Structures are given as C-alpha cells and as structure tokens.
Amino acid sequence: MCALLVGVFGLQAQEYFPSNTGVQAAKNTNYTVFRNGTIHLSPTQTIENGMLSIQDGKVVAVGKNVSVPQNSVVIDLEGKEIYPSFIDVFTHFGVSKEEPQRGRRSNPQYEASRKGYYWNDHIRPETRVQDHFQFSQSDAENLRKQGFGVVSTHTPDGIIRGTGMLVSLSSDDELGTRILSDRTAQYLSFEKSSKSQQMYPTSLMGAMALIRQVHHDADWYAKGGATNKDLALEAFNRNRDLLQIFKAGNLLNGLRADKLGDEFGVQYAIVGDGFEYEKLDQVKNTGATYIVPVNFPKAIDMEDPLLASYVSLQELKQWNQAPSNLRMLSEAEVPFVLTSFESGNEFRNNLIQAVAFGLEKEKALEALTTAPARLLGQEQNLGSLQEGAWANFFITSGDYFDKETVIYENWVQGERNVIEDMSIIPIGGKYQLEVAGTSYEMEITGPPSKPSASINSGDQKIGSKVSYQDNWLTLLLSSADTTDQRFTRLVARITPGFSKINGKAVLEDGSETTFTAVKTEDLASDNKNKNDHETWEVVPVSYPNLAYGFEELPEQETILFKNATVWTNEDQGILENTDVLVRNGKIAEVGQDLSSRRARVIDATGKHLTPGIIDEHSHIAASAINESGHNSSAEVQMEDVVDPDDIGIYRNLAGGVTTMQLLHGSANPIGGQSAILKMKWGGSAEDLILDDSPKFIKFALGENVKQSNWDSFSRFPQTRMGVEQVFIDYFTRAKEYQARKNSGQPYRRDIEMETLVEILNGERHISAHSYVQTEINMLMHVADQMGFDINTFTHILEGYKLADKMQERGIGGSTFSDWWSYKYEVLDAIPQNASIMHNEGVTVAINSDDAEMSRRLNQEAAKSIKYGNVSEEDALKFITLNPAKLLRIDDRVGSIREGKDADLVLWTDHPLSIYAKAEKTMIEGVVYFDLERDAQLRQDLAEQKNFITTQLLQAKNRGVKTVPGKAQEKEEMHCDTEVLF
C-alpha cells in the first residue's frame, strides 16, 4: 500500500513568505499527544504506557505522564511502540550519481579542465551538495519505510567531494524546513570524478599521494603562498573543521585512508564494506568510527558442482560470516554507525538477520540513532526522544527487530507519514465460519494488511482468496465440488473489539444471504519464531580470510636444525652436517653438535638449509602497480598499496621467498617509491613492510615509458631522447627546489620534489628498469651530471654490454635469467648476462617480475650455472645475498650468520636443483610455510568448502534466492600492468 501523506500536523510555510493560496492566519499550534504506547526514548531507555507530546515539529514532553494541554489531538497507541527515527550519515539521497566513463581514451587528458580551481579535477572540496540536490519523494518514502527520518547526503563524485548536508525526510515540500544543516561533513573517496577525464591519478597510490599534496598545498595557500586564486583550496581549508567521512570502498582501503588521515592529524569516519570482521584488530586500531553498510553477500548457487568449482573459499566464507560482522564489531567495541548505503530496501531485513547472528538490539538502535547524532554533533536534536529534539519517530506494531512487526507511521519533524494503516483491526485467528448452512474451519494468518486464509470443510480443503482493506474483509470460496467452477463471495465490515464477524454472502447461484464467523482462537503467538531469520554455524575467521589462511597465526619458535647442508653465503661456504639454532627470530648459532633444551629439533639430515630467497623485483602483494597519469610519479608510495591478502604471498613462500621489493611499474621514467616486504602471510600490510626499511624508488627507461607498444602518442616522452630530458628536467627543478628550501624562504612543499631531493642526498636509492645499452649509458651520464647515484639497474638485459661501466660506478644488476625476444628492446638479451656482469665484478641478482617465476627463483639462479658457468655458491647468492646487498639489507638478511634474521629455507634436495622443494620457509623464526602443514591446509580447505557448500544447498532448499558464484581472481601483475580505477 502506498504511504498516505498527511501534512496537516506538520510545519507550516515560512512565516515571512507571502502566500496566495488561502488565508495566512492559519498556523497550527495544537499539540499532538501519543499515549499508551511503549516509547523507546533512546537505545537503552524504554517507557511502557508512556506519553509523548509534540508541537510545531519538536518534542515538547515525554514521560510516563505528561500534561495534556486542551488544544491537543490525542492518539492512542495501545499495544504499539515508538522508536526515534534513524539517521543515515552516508547517502547521496537526492543526488543522481553519474556513471564513470570507462575505457582508455586515445588522447588522454593530462591537464585540469577547470580554471580557478585546483590543478587536479578530482579534487572538488568546493562542491556543495545543495547545488545538485533534488528531493526525491520516492527515495524518501523508501527510507522512511525502513525507519529513517534524517540523512546526510553528499555529491558522490571525486576524491575530495565537498560538503554534505543534513536533510530530513519530511514529505513537506518546503525545502527550507528540511535542511537541518548545510555543512555536515566533508566527504572523500579514492574514486575519481566522472566529470573529468583528467588522467591523474590512475591508481590508488596516486589518489593517496594526491590527497597528501592537497594538504600541503592548502597549508601553503593558507599562508598566502600562492599568487593565484584557488577556490578548491579555499574550500578545503574552510572544510577542515568539519567531520571528514571517507568512503574507502573496501576493508584494506579503509585502513589506508586511516593511515593517510593520521599523517595529517585527521581522524576520518570510514565508510566500510561490511567485512570489517576480517581484520577486526586493525579496524579497532584505526580509532575511527566506522560507517557500516548492512549488506550481506547473496547466497551462492552451488547446485551445479562444475560451476560451483569456480567459487573460492573466500567467497563462501564471506557469505557464511558477513551477517556476524556487526556482532563482532560490537563485541570488539569498535565505534560504528549504520548506513542504508548498498542495502536499500533490504536494510531492515538484513539488520534483523544481523540481530539473529547476535548483534544486540540496543547496539543496533544506538548505531542508528544516538551514535550518528553524536557523530554529526546533533545529539540535542536527533537520535533520541527528548524535550526540544525534533519530533522524528516511527510507530510500530511491536519490536522493530521482529520480522512480523509492521511499521505504521514514520513522523518526521512532527509530520505524519503513514506507511501502514494503524487503524486497521487485526483479524488473525481461528474462526467457525457458517455460510448457508455449511460449517467451515477458517484460519487467518499473516500481517494485518495482507492476511491469508486457509479454510477447511471437514477433511476437505476449500480454495479461498482473502483481501482486507480499510477494515473491509472480502473472501472468495471455491466450491467443495472441484469440478464446479463457481464461487461463493463473502463481504463484511470489521468493527473494533469484534468477536464475531457478520456479513453478506453471495452464493454460487447469485442468491444473497448472510454469514457469520465466530472467533474461536486468537492468532497463535508462537508464530513469531517460525518467521525468525535462519542462522547457521559460522566458520572461524582466518588470517587472511581465504584459502591457506591461518586460524591461529604461527609463532616465533626456538628451532634447532640438525645435520643440514648449510649454505652460509659467508666465508665458510657450504657446511656439511651442520646445525643451526634459531632463537628470538635470529640465527643464534651455526656449528656442529649444537643442542638446546628449549628448541624444537628438526632433523635436516640429507636436506639443505639456505638463506631465504630475496626477489629484487616483484609485483605481487599489491593492489596497484602503476601511476601512469604523469611522466613522473615520485610522490606515490607502494607501501600505501600493499595487499597482504594476495595468495601469491603464500605461493611464493612455497618457493622459498622470504623478502621482496614491491616495485612501482614502468609506466613512467620516474616511477614510485618501493616497498620492501617480508612475506609474513597472515600479517597486516604494516607487518609485511620491513621495519626501518631503506628507501628505494623505481625509475624506468625504454619502450614502456615511451608507450611504444600501445596506441598512445600524446604523452612526453615518446623517444629515448625525451626520456633523458625528463630526468634532466626533474633533477634540475629538484635542485632549485632544494636551494629554495635551504634558503629559508617560504616554499610550497612538493612531495615529488622532496622525493627527488632524497635521491640527490643519497637517502633514497634508485632501481632503474632498463634494457638496452644506449639508455643504460644515458642514465649513468645523467646521474654523473646531476650528482646522484644509481643503486641498481633492474632487468638490465644488455648489462653485459656495459658491465665495466656499471662496475666502475658500483651499480648492481638485477636481471632475468633467460627472458628475451618478447619485444624489440630485448632482442639482444642473453642468458649469459648475469654471469658476464658477475665476472666483471657487478653485484648481480636474478629477479622475477612475475608471480609464477618468483616461486622458482632458485631454478632461475641455477640457469646461470648452465649458461654462464658461475659457481653454485655464486648462483645461490644471486637470489639471496646479492639482492640483499642491492636492497641494502645485507646486514640483516641474505646469509646464515649468527645475529642475522632467521629467514631460512629448508630444501628437500640441492637448492639449485629442479628437484628441490621448499620444505619449510621461515621468517624471523616463524615457520610461514611447511609442506606438512600445507597438506593439512589442503584438507581443511576441502572440508570447509564442503561444510559451507552444504549450508548453501540447505539455504537454496529452503527457498532462499541464490546467485551464481563470482570467482574473483586477482590479475597477475607485471611492470606494465595498469589497474585503472
């Protein structure tokens, strides 16, 4: 039934507005008093048989007994309940969302399209939602049906999206009375504006760097640094005192947003994704209020085993666990509020399910009323029924969290919005029905406005159809003789307090008579349970919460490897029959016949122990690789986008990898800042990032930065000649920047320039993606000219042509073992490259740049034995000690020496042999991979998948609607992978 809109009790037009539609002396100052209802003043305070008095849109009095002025309209709410209306702080109510334009444009736009605003079109703090707002009656009605009375709405467009406003869902069309605040919060996201095609940022880390730069630019602007007018920065500075709401998009992005905020002393309220339970500790540590959608994954159709085989454990677990998210947030005391975002009309239904999974009702109410009111600084006006607050409340037939409960009316600013007719007389129950001398048993069930009937005559079921509206009941009865296609019609008006229904009957032959229905029993009260939400056994969260995750994280152990062949990478070389003791995450002792009472002893007889493999060039464990929106992106940080949940981490551990450098891609000559990671599967992004990590940056040369291999002709540089000039240009400007900074004069803090200055000062080291000798030589000359050092040439496939020049400058080479001929610049790549550079005294590493090959780096190193005759010890160093040196962490990892990190691999066979498998991979004394445990995890995985699959099949059998599985799969990332967003 459509909601009736009854505006007579509501607010009147503004008093100073002229009116030509009637007399103006018509202000309604009557009171409305509700009595006999159960009033929920707040999530924790309830009055039975209470009274609530409102006038002119506000609560005048509320309590057990309040005075009823003479000019009061009294509404009796016996058996009914009143709740404060809900508040949603994250909506784009009344604002249409433009779909982003997709696909790559042939002529990318690099400059901003607006004048007088910030240099980047995706920074729009000056946006005011009221300028794009169109009150939507239908959306308002849908929100009111769920119980909402007030929402904060914003323009969902861009990275910094400007201010939102607080608007009531009153159906009164006087806009001025609906707006409760025109500056509720500033909204942010990692999503670009659909109003501009400006390329930058093309990546998540670019968006994060951009937000940082906006902060610096706004500070500088506020100090009068700029000579131009920038309306965006002015607005940003104006908005600083507002609540800042960050739509993160997913769990990891929420943590990233919080980290970003911390850098600038901003505590964002974070719009979550409903999977916060997966990293509850980290979520709690943000200190942020989470704005949580109440939206759960749909049940997955597992009926067809072939199709179901594409469904991952992660997807299954998320279906199984997500309804428990709110309970877990509540138990962990994470502050949160709820939003209807993404759940829409399913909001209440889902919330009831969350309660079925253990969320306390008080907590749910708090997250919808007092908590959001507090977040918005509106606790005096909204969220509870107290004197002076807005008269925003809704009336129900009972407990809001009971599925059978009907929401009758939602009053907003004292204005009544009818959802279901409250005056309807419930007719549920059992009746003795008498029609024209025949007796029937009739049972009426279901919600008062939509009852259903089941009618029997003796043992025979009689077909029937019931409808009930405005207290008029009509019943259609089929004939007892099923071959007879004629019907008996009954109609009756139901009166309050009835015990017997009297009405008219029109018989099959058209003759009229009367009928009676005597109520024999009220509606059974145990009906409620029948309709409760189904729950199911919830499987434990693992870290990460997907295949091969740990339900309990492995711990640091004291371990004694007995009788191993130990590849020390030190002067002792390879030691036979040797013991290695690991304690407190370090290598404690290397020697013969060691013992330790506390240690777990691992018999390594016939096995080989090596330092963990270090991959100088990797792109796993990342949510993005390339920021290609500018030809320099020195400002972006790979540490921002570490993805600790990438299954690639586990697979790399299975290949003996313990440390890797997560490099920016090769989309531009000056790439982004690297992250050096330890493969601590199950840990957080912060856990993975190496403590006190040396600073690195990716540079790139050649075809990728020229964009030679795809249709892109508009970005400088298009030739190797231009690549040189990019470096000359940036470093020239960096020197000027540094000079100005050192001079003590005011300067605009520029993250990109700061990064280049770090390079000039030797504080940040370069790993330069490079292929052919021209460009390698060029960069060495640029470095000489500009006064910086190159740490490593990575890929460096023609390094063998310039090995002497590299050696002179102390530049390392990190190369592929045998890749070539896949593009023009690798035509002269040779598998002897590593050995020739090595023979010339260059520090050589073999890298992967590939999530598959990185699992077999020991074999790639062994190819140097085959192609280049290097010694086995040196070959192993190519993937352990040498990359450690190139990453400047050889004081901590890369060899087996007392005092170094216990990052070790126990191999089943000679570690450079193709027949060797990593049996145990340890990082800092923690065994992160173990062949035996892997076998157990495979079994657990299969069992858990089957367990949840059974639950899903049961759900489908119960009639739950299912959707096909999605089988999300992470794209394999290389140097030239772009994740556009």
Segment 412-451, which members bind other proteins (CB under 8 A)?
Answer: none
Q: Which of 303, 522, 804, 891 binds other proteins (CB under 8 A)?
A: 804
Is residue 246 within the footprint of other proteins (CB under 8 A)? no
CB of 628 to other proteins, least distance (A): 16
Binding string, residues 198-237; x marks residues near other proteins by CB under 8 A: ----------------------------------------
Q: Which of 396, 965, 973, 975 binds other proteins (CB under 8 A)?
A: 965
In the three-class reduction of DSSP (H, G, I as helix; E, B as strand; rest coil), residue 310 is classed as coil
Is residue 956 within the footprint of other proteins (CB under 8 A)? no
CB of 401 to other proteins, least distance (A): 32
**Complex with other proteins: residue 513 or 968, whichever CB lies closer:** 968
Segment 156-185, which members bind other proteins (CB under 8 A)?
Answer: none
Q: How far is CA 473 from CA 450, 463, 487, 498, 911, in A?
A: 11, 17, 16, 13, 84
Q: What is the CA radius of gyration of the chain?
A: 35
Q: For residue 399, give the DSSP letter.
A: -
Segment 916-945, which members bind other proteins (CB under 8 A)?
Answer: 916-917, 934, 938, 941, 945
Segment 744-803, which members bind other proteins (CB under 8 A)?
Answer: 800-801, 803
Strand order across the 179-181 sheet: 86-91, 148-153, 165-168, 179-181
Is residue 828 within the footprint of other proteins (CB under 8 A)? yes
In this chain, which stretch among 78-86, 446-454, 471-479, 824-832 interacts with other proteins, using CB under 8 A?
A: 824-832
Is residue 741 within the footprint of other proteins (CB under 8 A)? no
- Residue pair 853/860 in contact (Cβ under 8 Å)? The answer is yes
Q: Which of 160, 257, 260, 546 binds other proteins (CB under 8 A)?
A: 546
Is residue 967 within the footprint of other proteins (CB under 8 A)? yes
Residues 493 and 501: their CA atoms lie apart, in Å, by 8
CB of 876 to other proteins, least distance (A): 11
Query: Which H/E stretch holds residue 235?
Result: helix 231-238
- Residue pair 925/583 in contact (Cβ under 8 Å)? The answer is yes
Q: Which of 915, 932, 957, 958 binds other proteins (CB under 8 A)?
A: 915
Question: Residues with Cβ < 8 Å from 552, sequence gap 6 or more?
Answer: none
Residues 525 and 254: their CA atoms lie apart, in Å, by 44
Segment 649-688, which members bind other proteins (CB under 8 A)?
Answer: 650-651, 654
**Complex with other proteins: residue 522 or 852, whichever CB lies closer:** 852
CB of 831 to other proteins, least distance (A): 6
CB of 815 to other proteins, least distance (A): 13
**Complex with other proteins: residue 189 or 314, whichever CB lies closer:** 314
CB of 709 to other proteins, least distance (A): 5
Give the DSSP letter string of 213-233. HHHHHHHHHHTT--SS--HHH
- Between vectors from CA 317 to CA 316 and to CA 320, what angle results, nearest 5°? 90
Pairing of strands 904-907, 608-611: antiparallel
Is residue 707 within the footprint of other proteins (CB under 8 A)? no
Residue whose pair of structure tokens reads 């924790």 in the numeric block: 44
> Is the backbone peptide bond immediately before 156 cis, with ω within 30 degrees of 0?
no
Is residue 342 within the footprint of other proteins (CB under 8 A)? no
Q: Which residues pair with 515 in a beta bridge?
A: 435, 503
CB of 848 to other proteins, least distance (A): 12
Is residue 295 within the footprint of other proteins (CB under 8 A)? no
CB of 283 to other proteins, least distance (A): 23
Type of residue numbered 310: Y
Give the binding-site size for other proteins (rule: CB under 8 A). Answer: 72
Q: Which of 289, 314, 565, 847 binds other proteins (CB under 8 A)?
A: 314
Q: Which of 547, 621, 844, 893 binds other proteins (CB under 8 A)?
A: 547
Q: Which residues pair with 562 in a beta bridge?
A: 603
857: left (phi over 0), alpha (psi -120 to 50) or beta: alpha
**Complex with other proteins: residue 226 or 967, whichever CB lies closer:** 967
Is residue 960 within the footprint of other proteins (CB under 8 A)? no
Segment 853-892, which members bind other proteins (CB under 8 A)?
Answer: 853, 855-856, 859, 862-863, 865-869, 872
Residues 140 and 85: their CA atoms lie apart, in Å, by 13
Q: Crossing angle of helices 204-222/251-263, nearest 10°?
A: 20
Q: For residue 538, give the DSSP letter.
A: P
HEC per residue, 957-976 = HCCCCEECCCCCCCCCCCCC
Give the residue among 681, 691, 686, 656 at the shortest CA–CA distance from 554: 681
**Complex with other proteins: residue 674 or 817, whichever CB lies closer:** 817
Give the residue among 611, 676, 692, 688 at the shortest CA–CA distance from 650: 688
In the numeric block, which tokens belong to residue 800?
């063998």
Q: Which of 264, 528, 964, 977 binds other proteins (CB under 8 A)?
A: 964
> Is the backbone peptide bond immediately before 544 cis, with ω within 30 degrees of 0?
yes
Q: Which of 703, 758, 849, 919 binds other proteins (CB under 8 A)?
A: 703
CB of 654 to other proteins, least distance (A): 4
Q: For residue 550, give the DSSP letter.
A: B
Q: Which of 839, 949, 962, 977 binds other proteins (CB under 8 A)?
A: 839
Is residue 562 within the footprint of other proteins (CB under 8 A)? no
Residues 778 and 781: their CA atoms lie apart, in Å, by 5
**Complex with other proteins: residue 457 or 777, whichever CB lies closer:** 777
Q: How far is CA 240 from CA 59, 265, 741, in A?
A: 33, 11, 26
Q: Which of 75, 231, 307, 480 binds other proteins (CB under 8 A)?
A: 307
CB of 726 to other proteins, least distance (A): 22
Segment 90-119, which members bind other proteins (CB under 8 A)?
Answer: 99, 102-103
**Complex with other proteins: residue 403 or 823, whichever CB lies closer:** 823
Residues 505 and 354: their CA atoms lie apart, in Å, by 47
